[in-house]
């Protein structure tokens, strides 16, 4: 600066904002065109391709807006004897924690208005996670809501042991390109109404 004054701070640019907007539009279109069968088909593919017979701890998400419904998947997993968990964003810029969900668990309103199990529900670490996405790339890169929650969560869980992160959404959420940052954690697979796929190479 010529007069020695401090320059104004640069705006905190979200390079992915335009891509999130486009992804949300594609998802809204898919949800509107869906007669309600996509979630059931996707649940079937998820179980066929990724869920073993042995009981596991599996994290789902409580769908909001146009996110693909997890109700069928939830019901099938519980019926098969698996433990279902739901994510809780306890604080910003921190990993999610997971609390057990059972059919009789009364959900309360969490951060961003997303329903979560109450503090009385036992906390547990998932072995498989159905991850909500705005968009997913062919190489497994994930575009999310922008909180960085799943990136931090997967980094932590993967450092601790084996965990399978499977994106769950409409086929229309597959995107050719969006930017990827060094902190972005890639998915191990993606499941939609069209089927299940595994991403072999994760950076």
Ligand X SMILES: Nc1nc2c(c(=O)[nH]1)N(C=O)[C@@H](CNc1ccc(C(=O)N[C@@H](CCC(=O)O)C(=O)O)cc1)CN2
Ligand Y SMILES: Nc1ncnc2c1ncn2[C@@H]1O[C@H](COP(=O)(O)OP(=O)(O)OP(=O)(O)O)[C@@H](O)[C@H]1O
Residue from 22, 44, 57, 152 binding ligand Y (CB under 6 A):
152
Token readout for 136 is 């997913």
Contacts of 52 (CB under 8 A, 6+ apart): none
* Rg of the chain, C-alpha, whole Å: 18
Q: Cα 53 from chain centroid?
A: 23
193 is in an annotated binding site: no
Q: Say how far apart CA 117 and CA 106 lie, in whole Å.
A: 7
- For residue 35, the minimal CB distance to ligand X (Å) is 22
Query: What phi, psi does 83 have (nearest 5°)?
Result: -95, 125
Q: Which is nearer to ligand Y, 11 or 36 (CB)?
A: 11
Binding track, positions 167-186, relative to ligand Y; x by CB under 6 A: --------------x-xx--
Tell me: is residue 161 an annotated ligand-binding position: no
Give min distance, CB of 108 to ligand Y, in A.
20
Cα atoms in the 13 Å half-sphere on the side-chain side of 34: 24
**Closest distance of CB 145 from ligand X, Å:** 4
Which residues of the chain form contacts with ligand Y (CB under 6 A)? 16, 143-152, 155, 181, 183-184
Residue ranges of the annotated binding site for substrate are 67
């Amino acid at each position: 600066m010529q007069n020695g004054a401090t320059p104004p701070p640069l705006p905190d640019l979200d390079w992915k904002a335009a891509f999130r907007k486009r992804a949300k539009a594609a998802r809204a279109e898919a949800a509107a065109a869906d007669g309600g069968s996509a979630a059931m088909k996707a649940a079937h593919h998820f179980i066929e391709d990724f869920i073993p017979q042995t009981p596991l701890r599996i994290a789902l998400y409580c769908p909001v807006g146009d996110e693909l419904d997890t109700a069928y998947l939830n019901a099938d997993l519980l019926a098969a004897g698996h433990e279902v968990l739901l994510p809780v964003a306890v604080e910003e810029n921190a990993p999610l924690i997971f609390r057990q969900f059972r059919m009789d668990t009364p959900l309360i309103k969490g951060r961003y208005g997303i329903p979560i199990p109450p503090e009385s529900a036992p906390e547990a670490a998932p072995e498989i996670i159905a991850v909500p996405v705005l968009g997913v790339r062919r190489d497994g890169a994930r575009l999310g809501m922008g909180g960085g929650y799943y990136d931090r969560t997967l980094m932590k869980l993967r450092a601790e042991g084996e965990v399978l992160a499977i994106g769950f959404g409409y086929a229309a959420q597959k995107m050719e390109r969006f930017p990827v940052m060094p902190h972005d954690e890639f998915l191990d697979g993606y499941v939609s109404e069209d089927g299940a796929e595994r991403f072999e190479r994760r950076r």
